[in-house]
Structure 1
C-alpha cells in the first residue's frame, strides 16, 4: 500500500457532495488538497474543514466548461500546492428531460461541463505529472454512461464520452506512469440525485463517504497496479 501523506491533489467540484467527501478523505490521509467550484462561500467552508486534518488547502472559483478559466485555475492551484500528484475529475451537472423536451442549449451545457471539463482539467495537470513521471487521474463517470435511459440522454451521453475519453487517456499517458482510473458509480445521495429517489429515503443508496473511501483505497494501491475501470452499486437500493 502507498502512503499518500504529503501528496498534492486537486478535486474539481470539491466544495460539496461527492467532491467534498473525497477531498476530506484524502486530507485524512495527509494529502494537501485544492478544490474548485463556482460557489466561493461553500468552498471557503470546505477548505476550513480540510485544514483541520493538518494539511494545506486552497481553492479556485471557475467554471470547468470555460477552457481559459479552467486551465488558468488548475495551473494556479498546482503552483499554490507546489505541484500536483492527484486529479479527481468530479465536477459535473445533470439536466434531465426527453429528447423532445430538452433544448439544444441545455444539452450542450451538460456536454460542456461533464466532458470538456474533464478534458480541460486533465490537459492542465498533465505537464506536471509528466515531468515527475508519475501521477493519478480519477475521472468520475456514471453507470448511466454504460446504459442510457429515457429522460437522461444528455447526461448518459456525457458520461459515456467520459468513459471513452478516459480509456484513450490511459492508453496514452500510462507510458509516463500516470494511472488513469474511470469510475462508474450508481446512484449516490447528493443534491443531484435526491429528487430522483422514489421513496425519498437517501439512506438506502450509496453515500458520498462510501465513494470517497473507494477512491482513497484505489489511490493507495501499489503503483504497479491500476484499476482502469470500476463500478460501485448500492447493495439493496
Structure 2
C-alpha cells in the first residue's frame, strides 16, 4: 500500500480491536491519525502504539453518542490539521439478547452508537469534504446486516440501518469527489468476539488480516468491502434471496452456544 505522510485519518472506536490495529497500520504508512474512544487508558495505549509506529496522533477521549463531543473533536482536528482526508467510522457495540427477553432499551443503546454515532460524524465531516471536493468516508458495518441472526436482533438491525444509510449518502454525494465505502466484515478477532464460542464464528480472521482487507478496500475506494469470501458470498448474494422458511430452517441450526452479557458499560466499543 502506498505510503502517505500527508493523509489525515480519523478512526472512531480506536481503543481496541480493528480500530487500534488500523490506527497502528496507518501510522506505519506515515499517516496522521486521530483516534477516539470512551476508554481513556486504552485509548492512551493506542496513541502510544501509533506514535511508536512513527505516526502523529491526536487522542480524543469521548463517546460518539454525544453530538457535542463529536463537534468538539472535529473542531480540534480542524484546528490541528485543517481537516480530514479519511474518516473511518468504526465505533460499534453489540450484545446477545434473545427476543424472548426482548429489550427496547438494548435497541436504543445499540442504535445510539452503531447508527447515531456514525450520523453525528457524517454531519460533522461531509460539508468540509464536499467543499474540498475530495475525501473518503468508510463505515464499518457487518455481514450481520443482511439478514436477522439468532440473539442479535438489535445488532443486526443497527448494521442494516448503517448499510442503507451509507448507501444513500454515497448516492447523494456522487459527483462531489467524496467517496463512501461500506465495510461489512465477517468475524474478526477482537474483544467483542473473544466473548463468543469459536464454534459460532466460522472463518474467523486474525485482526491483522481484517485490517489489510479493510484498508486495501478503502484505498481503492471500493463501494462495498465484504469478507471473507467463503462467508460473504452466501450472506450477501444468496441469503437475502432465500425463501423465509428455508432461511429459518438453516439459521435454527446456527444458534449460538454461549450468550454474552447484556451490557458492560466499561466494555469494548469496537
Distance 1:84 1:204, change over 3 A: same
Contact 2:2 2:29 in 1 (8 A): no
Shift of 1:37: 0.3
- Are residues 1:231 and 2:191 paired? no
What is the TM-score of this pair, normalised by structure 2?
Answer: 0.79
Structure 1 moving runs of 4+ over 4 Å: none
Alignment partners' CA distance in 1, 2:5 and 2:127: 22
Stretch of structure 1 that moved more, 19-28 or 160-169: 19-28
Distance 1:210 1:32, change over 3 A: same
Q: Count matched residues.
A: 231
Alignment partners' CA distance in 2, 1:117 and 1:165: 12
- Are residues 1:60 and 2:60 paired? yes
Shift of 1:123: 1.4
Spell out the pairing of 1:72-221 with structure 2 (5 A cutoff): 72-199=72-199, 205-221=204-220
What is the TM-score of this pair, normalised by structure 1?
Answer: 0.90
Distance 1:235 1:28, change over 3 A: farther
Whose radius of gyration is greater, 1 or 2? 2
Q: Deviations over 1:109-161 (max 9, x none)?
A: 10111001111112111122122210011100000001111211100000000
Alignment partners' CA distance in 2, 1:55 and 1:142: 28
Q: CA RMSD in A?
A: 2.1
What does residue 260 of structure 2 align with? Answer: none
Contact 1:174 1:180 in 2 (8 A): no
Shift of 1:235: 5.6
Spell out the pairing of 1:34-45 with structure 2 (5 A cutoff): 34-45=34-45
Structure 1: 5+ residue stretches without partners = none
